[in-house]
A and B are shown apart, each in its own frame.
Chain A
């Protein structure tokens, strides 16, 4: 299982970004091995359609779960179609603290089957 988190920086100690499609980085964590991969978001500065395109990139990277603060309508539609579960992270904090909260079952499932 691979879980993705939009981030303001390149490491898990950097903050979770408040945007999905325009976050500068996406950190992908393999939940079995704990290995992390940092993707530089190629769409962060594009004019439009960034949300669905980032979902496409997540699909290409075998992501099945996402922790994110806010999701636009187009991205939401793509996430539903791709079958990616989305967990809401409303607070501020680092990627690692968001992951801790996720593992502790404290994040609400926003998109996906209960």
Chain B
């Protein structure tokens, strides 16, 4: 069972919801929390422990300068500008390479082979006996977010209850996180930006045919524009998190609300069970 926590807009509270859900559900389920926001992972800030580390790599071309005739075939072939053939050498931009391997195939003299280039790291830890944390971190300067998310995903076991903290936005990285999920919990806020980006991520879930529900953060009043959107699209609003100083202080000091406050623990347990019920599981 895989449940993505996504938002479209950044800073709406995906991680808050993911971390609280994970902790609350870990009393009754074997839970894996997967931090797929690899450009800025932050779930680990809420848990202690010494994680194991796995290096994630991408294949990029390596050129045998003795075999290379500077014919230019690879440079004309590469549509990403990762290989630039000059008159006296081949310039390489491994950070632009999409690892398609085409240059190795088209090279007429066999001068190109592929070598691993670091794209990021996956950290694996177990903050509690029933809670695993798999966290992806993109290498600084690398553009291969989806490679690192795929590496995180390889650690996820179907039999566990997996909560995926999705990256913000609705582009490749968010899609890579969402595509095999059974359910998507969309966290938003009652602002024009929150609503705008909610509609974008909602469209993505419809393309993938993933059932969804909504959490509205920093929200006390009903009948705002986000509520109207949810009503119009039959999206259940499962939780409202108020704009509350106590919650903000707790969150800001690295505490998990559902670990401190039994009322919130109960609310997050109920939120998790509602998500499971909406997927048809229990």
Contact = CB atoms under 8 A, between A and B. Distances in A.
Interface of A: 43, 46, 48-53, 55-56, 59-60, 74, 77-78, 81-82
A56 B85 contact: yes
A102 to B, nearest CB: 24
A82 B85 CA distance: 9
A78 B89 CA distance: 11
B187 to A, nearest CB: 30
Contacts of A51: 81
B93 interface: yes
B96 A60 contact: no
B35 to A, nearest CB: 27
B263 interface: no
A2 to B, nearest CB: 14
Interface stretch (B72-80, B156-164, B216-224, B225-233): B72-80
A43 B78 CA distance: 12
Given A49-B80, A74-B81, A56 B86 contact: yes
Interface residues of B, number: 15
25 contacts: A48-B96, A49-B78, A49-B79, A49-B80, A49-B81, A49-B93, A50-B81, A51-B81, A52-B91, A52-B93, A53-B75, A53-B84, A55-B84, A56-B75, A56-B85, A59-B85, A59-B86, A59-B87, A60-B72, A74-B93, A78-B84, A78-B86, A78-B91, A81-B86, A81-B91
Contacts of A56: 72, 75, 84-86
A61 to B, nearest CB: 12
A77 B95 CA distance: 13
B82 interface: yes
Contacts of B82: 49
Contact of B96 (A43, A49, A81): A49
Nearest to A49: B81
Contacts of A55: 84
Contacts of B96: 48-49, 52, 74
Contacts of A78: 84, 86, 91
A78 to B, nearest CB: 5
Given A52-B81, A56-B85, 9 more contacts: A43-B81, A48-B96, A49-B81, A52-B96, A53-B81, A53-B84, A59-B86, A77-B91, A82-B87
Contacts of B89: 81
A50 B91 CA distance: 14
Interface in B75-118: 75, 78-82, 84-87, 89, 91, 93, 96
A51 B96 CA distance: 12
B87 A48 contact: no
